[in-house]
Structures are given as structure tokens and as C-alpha cells.
Amino acid sequence: MSGKPDFDLYRPAEEHEELRAAIRALSEKEIAPHAADVDENERFPQEALDALNASGFNAVHVPEEYGGQGADSVAACIVIEEVARVCGSSSLIPAVNKLGTMGLILAGSEELKTTVLSEIAEGKMASYALSEREAGSDAAAMRTRARQDGDDWILGGGKAWITNGGKSTWYTVMAVTDPERGASGISAFMVNAADEGFGVSKTEKKLGIKGSPTAELYFENCRIPGDRIIGEPGTGFKTALQTLDHTRPTIGAQAVGLAQGALDAAVAYTKERRQFGRAISDFQNTQFMLADMAMKVEAARLMVYTAAANAERGSAPGGQKLGFMAAASKTFASDVAMQVTTDAVQLFGGAGYTRDFPVERMMRDAKITQIYEGTNQINRMVMARQVLA
């Protein structure tokens, strides 16, 4: 073996660290002060949207030719992580803007990209509509239909669990265009909130991420122009799976941010809280808990960044497929977030069980990261199939 290995793979570039400093400063100044109120009153974090829009952090992934920053996948993860560190609900603004437009970026026409992505770069929001009440993990069982009517498409049916539903302007909607072909008969469309026949019927009452509305959508003879289809008819499910390969690391990033926020809060609290005449951070059992929490967060962060970097390259080192790394990073990081936020509540003792401190909110917010964009059980199936292939 000759020469020295390139270790730059294992640390973010200088511009990534500059980005982190900028988004952390913005998050602490403009977003953190409102996080508890957003959660308590289950209201949309408008302050976060305004701050992210003003700074261009609302959709850093949008390519420059459409008015965005054209940031790489690692940069997008850093933005989501730093916002989640102070407010999980607010982190879903940049995260779901990417989710709601990734299929378009991967497979859409140039004209459709120009129409939609330019609006997202200007501050509008996008959502992703795949799941239905009876088609969650089994997404291919969806019942929403789309049929051609002249040059237009007519959509009928409904979608469930749509993050930022009712707040977004654009929705990537999966619908069956050929029922005889199974998953190969599913197509993807861009639906606008102003389209005839589109509506929001219900907003869920949730355990966590209470500031981000999770809604049901309906389509009653919803008419959209024919050029709003993404790619060719029948390619929608393939586009949906490719989208998740690119966006599952962003949920991992959200999980890392929640875990880091809980760890930071726990470190500060244990240094101040005194028992038996000493700060509880002086006790070895506290130190061991904090050490394990920090170790897990760093491991999760490295896996998320590696998966995001692989999304830029198209595959992982050693021949592993992008799908494996995407599923693994999301699964590992979300499990870590649940462990670390729960431990943070424990370190706060009785105070951690109250809403006077942020760790109970972070624990509630962390739970959903194990569920959406593929439950961790489904993600383990994705990983196992690739391991056995």
C-alpha cells in the first residue's frame, strides 16, 4: 500500500462548518425562543419559516438554476440537524421541502422543475403524499387513482399522514394510473393546493412535533394539467423509492439534532444540579450516562453524513448500495435519538418529566423519527434484502 489515505471523507469540509455556525446562530436566535410555545399551543412555527426563508435555509437543496443554493446532501443534513437541535417541528420545514421535491428533481421535466422549484426557493413549501390509511408500509396497496381526460389528469382518493399538509403549496402525489400493473402502474404528480378538487380534511393530534401539521388530503375529481406528471406513467413508485434513498438521511439528521439538543441540555443541567453537596455531574454514574449518550450521537452523526455523501456519489464505499446506507443511517440515528432523549429525561429526574425543561419535548419529538419515512422495521427489511442479495 503506497501513499497516504484520504481522511477528508471522515470530516465535513470547511464550508460545511461555516454553514453549521450560521444556521446554529440563526436557530438559537430566531427559532429556539419560540419552540416551547409552538409545542404547547400546537401551532405552526411561523417565526421559523420566516427566518429560514429570509436566510435561504428553507430549501438549501434546490439547485442554483432555479433560485436555490444548490447545497449538497451533507449541507442539507447540517441545516436540518441544527434546526432540530432547538425545535423538532421547525426542522421539518427544510426536511419536508426536500422530501416534497426530490422526486421532481430526480425525474421531472425541465419545465415542471422551473415552475415548482423556483417557488420553493422563494419561500413556498412542498409536501410528499405517498401514504394512505390502508397503505402505509405497504405503499403499493394505495387506492388513490389518476386517469387521463384529454390533456389533463383527474385524481380521486385521499392521502394520510402528510407532513405540513395544509401549509404546503405543492404536493408530490402518488396515484395508480394502471391498476393491472401493481407497483408498476403507479405514477407521480405535482399537485398545487389551488387545484380544483384538492382539499385538506383532517389534522392529526399528535404526541410530538406538534408545530408541524400532519394532515389528510383528499382529491375529488381533482383536475391537473397533463404536464404535471413526474416522468413517464408507471414510474412513480420507482421515483418514490429513489426519493427515500435521498431523504432518509435527512430524518437521521433530524434525529441527531434532537439527540444533540437533549445531550446539551443534560450536560448543562447536571453541572448545575446539586445533590449530596456536589454537582451531579461529579458522580460517575452520571458521567457514564453522558459518555454513552455523546458516543452514540457522534456515531449516528458520522453514519448520517456518510449516507448523505453517498447520495451525492450514488453509492457507498465497498459496493454497498445507497438504499442500505440511507435506511441504516435513518434507523440507527432515530434509535439513538430515542435512547439519548430518554436518558436526558432521566438525568433531569422529576424536572425532566415537566414541561419546564425541553428534554421531555425532545423525547416526544424523537419518537416519530423511528416511524416516518419508513418504520425502522421496514428499513431493517430494506437493509436485510441488500445484505442477502
List, in order of start, the domains of the chain with CATH numbers: 12-122 (1.10.540.10), 126-234 (2.40.110.10), 237-388 (1.20.140.10)
Contact 191, 165 (CB under 8 A): no
Phi, psi of 12 (to 5 degrees): -65, 155
DSSP label of 223: E
CA angle at residue 68 from 66 to 71, to 5 degrees? 125
**Interval 359-376 mean pLDDT:** 98
Q: Which residues of 152-165 are buried (b: 16+ CB within 10 A; e: fewer)?
A: ebbbbbbbbbbbbb
Crossing angle between the packed helical segments 88-107 and 110-122, to the nearest 10 degrees: 160
State the average pLDDT for the chain.
Answer: 95
Segment among 191-195, 317-321, 385-389 with least mean pLDDT: 317-321
CA nearest neighbour of 157 among 199, 193, 202: 199
Q: Any residues with CB less than 8 A from the CB of 276 and at least 6 apart, and which? A: none
Can you give the pTM of this predicted structure? 0.95
N- to C-terminal Cα separation, the chain: 30
The C-alpha atoms of residue 200 and residue 287 are separated, in whole angstroms, by 48
- pLDDT given at position 183: 95
- pLDDT given at position 314: 72
User: What are the Cα distances from residue 92, in Å, to 189, 214, 230?
Assistant: 22, 11, 23
Predicted confidence (pLDDT) at residue 297 exceeds the cutoff of 90: yes
- Active site amino acids: 373
pLDDT-above-90 percentage for the chain: 92
Predicted confidence (pLDDT) at residue 8 exceeds the cutoff of 60: no
The C-alpha atoms of residue 14 and residue 112 are separated, in whole angstroms, by 34
**Interval 323-345 mean pLDDT:** 98
**Interval 345-364 mean pLDDT:** 98
CB atoms within 10 A of CB 381: 14
- pLDDT given at position 180: 96
The dihedral built from the CA positions of residue 328, 334, 336 and 338, taken in this order, carries a sign that is: negative
- pLDDT given at position 322: 87
Q: Any residues with CB less than 8 A from the CB of 152 and at least 6 apart, and which? A: 223, 224, 225, 226
Predicted confidence (pLDDT) at residue 305 exceeds the cutoff of 80: yes
- pLDDT given at position 7: 47
- pLDDT given at position 320: 58
Predicted confidence (pLDDT) at residue 115 exceeds the cutoff of 80: yes
Work out the pLDDT band at 54, boundaries 50, 70, 90.
very high
The dihedral built from the CA positions of residue 82, 88, 94 and 98, taken in this order, carries a sign that is: positive
pLDDT tens, position by position, 243-286: 999 999 999 999 999 999 999 999 999 999 999 999 999 999 99
Q: Write out 160-188 in H/E/C secondary structure.
A: EEEECCCCCCEEEEEEECCHHHHHHHEEE
User: What are the Cα distances from residue 17, in Å, to 13, 75, 85, 230, 246?
Assistant: 7, 9, 16, 35, 22
**Interval 143-156 mean pLDDT:** 98
**Interval 300-323 mean pLDDT:** 81
Predicted confidence (pLDDT) at residue 318 exceeds the cutoff of 90: no
pLDDT tens, position by position, 166-200: 999 999 999 999 999 999 999 999 999 999 999 99
The C-alpha atoms of residue 249 and residue 251 are separated, in whole angstroms, by 5
- pLDDT given at position 1: 44
